[in-house]
Amino acid sequence: MTAIQRSNLLVRSSNSAIIKSMTQNKLILLPRPAARGRFSLEETIAKRRSVRTFSRGQLSPVEVGQLLWAAQGVTAKPGNFYFRSAPSAGALYPMEIYTVTESGLHRYLPEKHALELMMERDLRNDLSIASLGQEPVREAGLDIVICAAYERPYSRYGERGKSYVDMEAGHIAQNVHLQAVALGLGSVPIGAFDDVQVGKILGLPDGQYPLYIVPVGHVG
């Protein structure tokens, strides 16, 4: 789907022992994110490179939790409001983050720092096919899919709101890439995929669109 088509649509409308991970009502509470890492910010920027070859193996809950915190975790809570790790025009936070792993499809809930189970099926192969067969999507332990609900930015900012959402996806993806480096992992931004196919595979609700896929995995 092209940006114009999307715009038109809008107009119309383990480790488990060391962590406190527990499953309750299909919610997986993620471990509290670390506030310090092994590398300086400057080192992570200098080390970041697109990595397209991963060794087999799943990511630990600690790693998944840290990556999702970097993507959209809550970093300040003045009163009843939740600010997240990446900037958002008007603090509208129109993004939904999904994880695709061996164990299934989950949605990240920033305020709970938890994963909600959406589908108990490994969708990485389907996602890779929808991404022009790109291997990193199939081979990564974790695919983070950044999706957007354009409605609120669109109603506040009009056409400009669409650009704001797309810009925000870049902020989120870069946070994930840098966090991956800081964890000793590799990642690559994937923009080449069939939006409609990816939406179907993930079962996205009306009004949500996939913008970016970030495979993350072990290197070497």
Q: Which span (32-40, 64-72, 141-149, 186-194) binds ligand FMN, by CB under 6 A?
A: 186-194
Among 40, 50, 155, 163, binds ligand FMN (CB under 6 A): 50
Applying CB under 6 A, among 189, 196, 207, 219 the residue interacting with ligand FMN is 189
Which residue number has the CB closest to ligand FMN?
Answer: 191
CB neighbour class for 123 (10 Å; exposed up to 12, middle 13-18, buried from 19): buried
Least distance (Å) between residue 195 CB and ligand FMN? 13
Determine if 155 is a binding residue for ligand FMN (CB under 6 A). Answer: no
* Amino acid in the structure at residue 17: A
Which among 177, 93, 70, 192 has a CA at the least distance from the CA of 134? Answer: 192
Is 39 or 82 the residue whose CB approaches ligand FMN more closely?
A: 39
Burial of 18 (0-12, 13-18, 19+ CB in 10 A): exposed
Cα–Cα distance, 136 to 57 (Å, whole number) = 13
Binding status of residue 133 toward ligand FMN by CB under 6 A: no
> Which C-beta is closer to ligand FMN: that of 87 or that of 191?
191
